Amino acid sequence: MRVALTGATGFLGLRLTRELLRQHGSLTVLAHAGSGDALRRITRFMELTDAPAELVADLPSRLRVVETDLAQPRLGLSGDVFGRLADELDVIWHSAGNIDLDDDLVNLRRVNVEGTRNVLELAAAGAREPAVHHISTAFVGGALREGVRYEDELDDTHGFENGYERSKYEAEVVVRAWSRAHGRPVVILRPSILVTDLPADPELPAHPLQFITRIATSALRGADLAGADVPDEARPVVRIKGHLRGHLNLMPVEHAAAVMVRLADRSPSAPVRTYHVVHEHDVAITVLAALVERLAPVKLRIVEKEPDDPTPLEALSDLYPGFTPYLGHRRRFDDTRVRTLLGSAPSGIHVDIDYLSAGLSVVPSARQAASAA
């Protein structure tokens, strides 16, 4: 079976690559043209996650890298190359995307919407009518901050918290329209916020919550606190708008990839089958506040509305604007369909402050270690 994957060098894509190689002898990686050595980055990830030495050694023969441009018709390939690629594939996993919450909507649509449309063009052109597995996000639910979001729901009634959510919603609309037009089934997988306890590595994609470390560092630098040993009673207070009973679903990315591959093995019983790939418990916003306090010598206070008199430090510390609204979320994602198919056994991973802290620590890159030696 010939399987292709977009976004193989992304935060989720690397884990999907590992899971797919457990099942298949080879994998076609549709990598962004000019983005660097995809094989080297995948190899580095495998080494960091203690993959078997045999797997690492076999990667050059098991991975075929095809450089593409998702934003271009035919993925930027010539007609002949595009046609040959389309005709040989049995499965297409579409994981690539722009995950910058605050990017310009035009840029987000170019990759997340038009890129999806162009991947579907590849699927439609294939003589073997490959199965399509589209990676979306649970946050296509938009700005509905309370209640429950169900797997079959897709509407823009409540608007969106940021351009990323809107672009992923629009991509799902495109996928569903393509399925109807071609009479082809599609599996849509909607993960929540993906996290890991694997320490960050400069050669690999950043942890989705890595912005917390960057913002804390810049804020402390602006307040002349960087590197300072500040006693607890002297820590400055930083007020952030949110909800004290707010909570977010943070899904361990390794578990998410495994669940996705298991779900994709099931034959869809409907033209479009959508699954919420979420963790069995949410994380309280107060845990994220404690995480910031662990990373920086401040006291974070969750307040109901933005301060009318922000301090200079609060102005510098404004959390990633596209993410800040999530501090007020109290909704849950229903995953009945997933639990019905795979059972309700817990992942065995407890996402707490220690787990999150581990994933936000940094290990030196191989180049840095070599130069230090």
Let me know whether 89 and 186 are in one domain.
yes
Helix 105-112 with 163-182: angle, nearest 10 deg = 30
Cα atoms found within 13 Å of the Cα of residue 299, Cβ hemisphere only:
10
Average pLDDT on 177-202 reads 94
Structural domain includes residue 139: yes
Count of residues in the chain: 373
**Residue 365 confidence (pLDDT) above 60:** no
pLDDT tens column, 190-232:
999 999 999 888 888 988 888 777 766 666 665 565 555 667 7
Structural domain of 355: 210-247+283-331+348-372
Let me know whether 243 and 257 are in one domain.
no
Q: Which residues are bridge partners to 134 per DSSP?
A: 94, 188
pLDDT of residue 311: 85
Let me know whether 73 and 154 are in one domain.
yes
CA neighbor of 178 nearest in space, from 140, 130, 129, 121? 121
Let me know whether 293 and 160 are in one domain.
no
What letter represents residue 193's amino acid?
I
Let me know whether 162 and 238 are in one domain.
no
What letter represents residue 231's amino acid?
P
The domain spanning residue 178 has which CATH number?
Answer: 3.40.50.720
Stretch among 14-18, 322-326, 362-366 having the lowest mean pLDDT: 362-366
In the structure, what pLDDT confidence band is assigned to residue 247 with cuts at 50, 70 and 90? very high
Structural domain includes residue 343: no
Let me know whether 68 and 139 are in one domain.
yes
- Measure the CA–CA gap between 359 and 200, rounded to whole angstroms: 6
Give the Cβ contact number of residue 106 at 10 Å. 9
Let me know whether 309 and 266 are in one domain.
no
How many domains does the chain divide into? Answer: 2
Mean of all residue pLDDT scores within the chain: 90
pLDDT tens column, 301-327:
999 998 999 887 777 666 667 888 999
Let me know whether 272 and 130 are in one domain.
yes
pLDDT of residue 227: 54
